[in-house]
Structure formats: C-alpha cells, structure tokens
Chains A and B, each alone.
Chain A
Amino acid sequence: MDKPPLALDQNFSGASEDFPALLRRKGLLQVAPEPTGATGNHPFVQTESTTILAFKFAGGVLVAGDRRATAGNTVVYDRADKVLEIDRHSIMAIAGVPATAWEMARVLEHSFQYFRRSQLQEMSVDGKVRALSKLLRDNFGFVMQGVGVVVPIFATYDGSSKPEARLYFYDAMGAQFEVTDYAATGSGSPAVRGILYYENNWGDKKLQELNEEEAVAIALRALDTAAEADTSTGGVDRSGKIFPLIKIVSREGITTLPKEKIAGVFKQKVA
C-alpha cells in the first residue's frame, strides 16, 4: 500500500471524492500537461482511425463499430473492439487512439461502480455523461500535442422517472452533444451521417421505427459505405468473415448481437 486510504484518516469526513480524483491522489492517473510555448500553435489534427455509429430504433439504441485499427497507412489490427460496455446500461464507443480510449473506458467503468458502492446509489445519467466529459477535458493537453485524440459516443438507458434511451457524442475537448436520432464519429463518419440522415428523412421508415433486423441492416450498409472510400474503416471483411461489432442498449440491459445473426442479415440485405 503506497498511501493509506483516505477514509482511515482520523479527520476524514464525507466521501465527495470521485474515482479519478482518488486515482490522482494515489498517483495512478496523470492529467495531461497543457502544451507550452511553440506547441501552443500546433494545428489540431484529428487522428483518423475508425468509424463508429449509433442510432435509436424501436428496440433501444444500436451502437456499431468496425474492427479496424490503423497507424498511418498500416492496418495494425482487424479485430479491434471499439464498442465497450461500461456498466449494465451504458456503452461507450470509441473513435481515435485506442490506448487512451481503453484507459478512459476503464476509468469510467470503475468510476460508476465506485460511486454506486461508496455512495450507495446509482450515478445519474447526467452524472455519467459529465464524468466522460471530464476525462476528455483532462486528456486535452495530449490532444494539443497531437497524440491521444478520442472522440467517443455514449449510449445509455435512463431508468429514472422518465425511462428512455439516451445518446450523446463528444468532441475531443469534452463537449457533449445529446442527439435525438443518430450519431457517428471517426474518419468514415461523413458517409455514415449522410446515410443515416437520408434514411431518417426519406427512407421507408424513420430510424426510431425500425425493428432490430432493419436497424442492423442499415448499420451494416452504413459501415460498408464508409469503408468504400475510407481506408481506415474496416467495414465488413467479406473474405475474413470479420463483422462489425453491434450492441444494443435497452431497458433490459445490453445485448451483444452474435456473429451468426449479423452474418445472416449481411447475406440477405447487404451483400
């Protein structure tokens, strides 16, 4: 034990400390230093490495991500998991640098659990949304140095007095934007946004009225379209049988769609 728990201090009172603060007290989490001098004018470059999307449909929120991780022109990994479960009702999907994003997801996951265990109540949806925002803000020093950009999507089910699915996307500085229908970030996102906008306005049904199979089909088509012009997006690898990762958040919790199901929809409606 490097430093004794705060609670054992005789003068301890209350438990206002959140989990990132606890990690910082123990020296386990660094806030990125703000750049000084010349780097202050460093142009902000979006690391383009992936495409993630999420939209509300009849069964909750669907969150999908392709599987490719790249460094420049090199494909590093084709089975990356970019759609991460944070707790029973929350998903964080990541576009950007995986090292930072996975660490953020880890901090976030522990933050929610730590809050529930120590305060004996579930953290509110607003509190959770804000927690991710703070992590992004703490990371902004790195972003300005050109490393560690993360642009996440956060989807959750609000079980409080007015139960509903909630969907947010963020910018690299930590601003959160709540959306009513859909969100997409990452290098392939312009194409995805185009498709989702089109479907929502002129498609057979509005996105919110789609059933699960229709929703999956649109998610796959959107990712396939994104991959068509963007080398950083894996889309659906037709030879390797690697499919995008799709998870659904609903009142009952999170479901990960099995590969066979995605493959079935792909065969019928996309390929």
Chain B
Amino acid sequence: MIEEPYRWVEAIANRREYIETELAAGSPIAAVGYRNGILFVTLGRARQKIFEIYDRIAMGAIGHPGDIERLRLAAIELASTEGFTRSAADVSLRRLAHYSLSPVMKSAFEQVYGAPFLARLLFAEIGSSPKEDLFLRIDYDGAIAADGLTGQPRQRFAVLSGTRQSAELMEKFLQKEHVTDAALPDAITTAFDAWSLGRMAMGENASKELPERDAIRKHRDEQLTRGGIEAAVLERDSKSAIRYRILADEELRSSLQR
C-alpha cells in the first residue's frame, strides 16, 4: 500500500478522518488566564480530564483514555527527571512539547501500520508574570498551536474540543468575553460559558453562529444537573513551588453567575 506515494497520502487522509470521528464526541476544555493564574474548566461525566504535570504545568486532554494516559505519564516522566537532574526552573513546556511529545505523536500518526495516538492535548505553563504564561495545544498528528511563543499579541486563553467548529466558536466567544484581569469567580463563569457553547456547537446540526447568552446559560444549567464540573488552577502567587490546585465542585457552582 505505502510503496506508492499516492496511496500513502490516501492512507493518511483516511486515518485523519477516522481519528476526527473518534474525537468528535470529546467534551470541550477551556483554559483561561485570570488575575492570579490560569484556570482549566470542563464538565465531565465519566473520567478525569485535567491533570497536573509538574510544578507549573497542567494538562487537559480529550481522546482515548489509554492514549491520554501514555502521553500524560510520558510528560510527567520527562518533566520529573529534568526537574530532578537540573532544577524545577529548567522544566519548560516549550521543550516538552517541541522536542518530546510532538515528534512522537507525529511519527505514530504517519506510520500507517502502527497505531496513532487518539488524543488531543492542551497544556498551560504559568510564568512569574502574565507575560511569561504559555498556552499550547498538541493535536494527534503532532501539530502544535501555541499562545505566547511568538511576537503576536497574546490571547491568554486556549480551548480544546472534539470538532473544529466547536473550538472555533469557543475561541470567537472568548475573544469577545475574556478579560485577562478577571477575578477567579468571573473567570470560572466565562470559561464555563465557553464550555457550554462549545458543547452546543458539537454534532451534525449545530449552529455555526454564536448563540445568545441566555441560551448558553440555559444549556449550561441543564448540563450541570447531569455531570460534575472539573476545574483546576495554576496559581501565580502560591507560596509553594507547586502551583497546581484542584477546585472543589461546590466552590465552582457557587461562583457561577446566573
């Protein structure tokens, strides 16, 4: 099959379609910068989707749990050994993604006789000032999209979703609504609204336009009765070197604005 270049391209295209279908149902994840850190939010029913990787790095993921687990453990292993042999300050998300995870995911994707990673990853790394924060997304084919690596103006948020349409709408919404200097409760509301509309935008018949705020909130409250909010923050001013903190469900529900 792959002796002929055309066949290889075709095989890759089929594989891409297959993975996109597999990922399409994944519940979105929103990561937004707020006054004192970075917040990750999603709503989960079945399993944990937001994880601590190292002192200043967190990860959200959608995809097959087996693949997510392998990538997560690889990231923890790389960060931990680097932090141990050098120092915690030498652990960098940029290097973790560019030199370790992306090449592995790319080659797994392109070796058509092997299994690809059915996973999409969203990382954030908190710096000593908002200017040093980094948001970074790695797709199943190893493609990286980052906010904070180039000279471009920063958005200070990033999203992950099962479908392209859903992710684009979430970004559009956050470009309008996201305030980088917001307090945590406000950030929770914005991020969860983004999640809600990302969820609404999934499926065949979903609208391509931004829905009204009322519709977003109504959908959000419906979903809240069925699942638990999962959220974690990377705190900038924490006394401890470990910046990752899981937020309790009650703290989250009481923060949400009607």
- The interface residues of chain A lying within 8 Å CB-to-CB of B2 are none
Q: Does A28 contact B (CB under 8 A)?
A: yes
The 4 closest A-B pairs by CB, nearest first: A7-B73, A5-B74, A7-B74, A5-B77
- Is B6 part of the contact surface with A, judged by Cβ < 8 Å? no
Q: Is the CB of A118 within 8 A of B76?
A: yes
**CA A116 to CA B104, docked complex, whole Å:** 25
Residues on A with C-beta less than 8 A from B52 are 116-117
Interface size, chain B (Cβ < 8 Å): 26
Interface-side segment among B36-44, B81-89, B171-179, B185-193? B81-89
* Number of A-B residue pairs with CB-CB distance less than 8 Å in the complex they form: 59
Interface centre among B74, B80, B84 (most CB of A within 10 A): B84
Q: Judge whether A263 is part of the interface by a CB distance below 8 angstroms.
A: no
| Residue A26 lies at the interface, judged by CB distance under 8 Å to chain B | yes
Q: Provide the bound-state CA to CA distance between A4 and B84, in Å.
A: 17
How far, in whole Å, are A4 and B71 apart by their CA atoms in the complex? 12
Question: Which A residues are within 8 Å of any B CB, using their own CB?
Answer: 1, 4-8, 10, 12, 15, 19, 22-23, 26, 28, 88, 106-107, 110, 113-114, 116-118, 120
- State A5–B115 Cα separation when bound (angstroms): 17
Shortest C-beta distance, A17 to chain B (Å), equals 9
**A15 pairs with B73, CB closer than 8 A:** yes
Distance to closest chain B CB from A86 (angstroms): 12
Shortest beta-carbon distance from A239 to chain B in Å: 33
Give A28 Cβ to nearest chain B Cβ, in Å: 6
Known: A1-B99, A88-B240, A117-B54. A23 touches B74 (CB 8 A): no
In-complex Cβ contact of B73 among A1, A26, A118 (8 A): A118
Binary interface encoding of chain B residues 55-94 relative to chain A, with 1 for a CB under 8 A from any of its CBs, else 0: 0000000000000011111101110110111000000000
Contact B80 A7 (CB under 8 A): no
Q: Give the A-binding residues of B (Cβ under 8 A).
A: 48, 51-54, 69-74, 76-78, 80-81, 83-85, 99-100, 104, 114-115, 240, 242
Determine whether the beta carbon of B84 is less than 8 Å from that of A106: yes
CB-CB nearest in chain A for B80: A114
- Contact between A117 and B53, CB atoms less than 8 A apart: yes
- List B contacts of A6 (CB < 8 A): 73-74, 77
Q: Which residue of B lies closest to A26 (CB)?
A: B81
Q: How far is the CA of A114 from the CA of B91 in the complex (A)?
A: 14
Complex Cα distance, B48 from A133, in Å, reads 33
Query: Shortest distance in angstroms between B138's beta carbon and chain A's nearest beta carbon?
Result: 14
* Residue on A nearest B240 in the bound complex, by CB: A88
Given contacts A1-B99, A7-B71, A114 and B78 within 8 Å (CB-CB): no
CA distance A7 to B72 in the complex (A): 8
Cross-chain contact A28 with B85 (CB below 8 angstroms):
yes
The answer to whether B80 touches A120, judged by C-beta atoms less than 8 angstroms apart, is no
Given contacts A5-B78, A7-B69, 4 further A-B contacts (CB under 8 A): A7-B74, A23-B81, A28-B84, A110-B84
Contact of B84 with A8 in the complex, beta carbons under 8 Å: no
State whether A120 and B48 are in contact (beta carbons under 8 Å apart), knowing that A5-B74, A7-B70, A8-B104 are contacts in the complex.
yes
Distance between Cα atoms of A23 and B82 in the complex (Å)? 11
B74 touches A19 (CB 8 A): no
- Shortest Cβ gap from A10 to chain B (Å): 8
Q: A117-B54, A117-B76, A118-B76 are in contact. Are A107 and B71 (CB under 8 A)?
A: no
Q: Which single residue of chain A is at the shortest CB-CB distance from B244?
A: A117
Nearest CB on A from B110, distance (A)? 15
Asked, given contacts A88-B240, A117-B52, A120-B48, whether A5 binds B73 with beta carbons under 8 Å apart, the answer is: yes
A91 to B246, CA, bound (A): 24
On whether the beta carbons of B80 and A110 are closer than 8 Å, the reply is: yes
Closest CB in chain A relative to B111 CB, distance in Å: 11
Task: Name, among B69, B76, B83, B242, the residue most crowded by chain A CB atoms within 10 Å (CB to CB).
Answer: B76
Contact A22/B77 with A88-B240, A113-B242, A117-B52 known, Cβ cut-off 8 Å? yes
Closest Cβ of chain B: how far from A39's Cβ, in Å?
A: 30
Looking at the assembled complex, report how far the CB atom of B89 sits from the nearest CB atom of chain A, in whole angstroms.
14
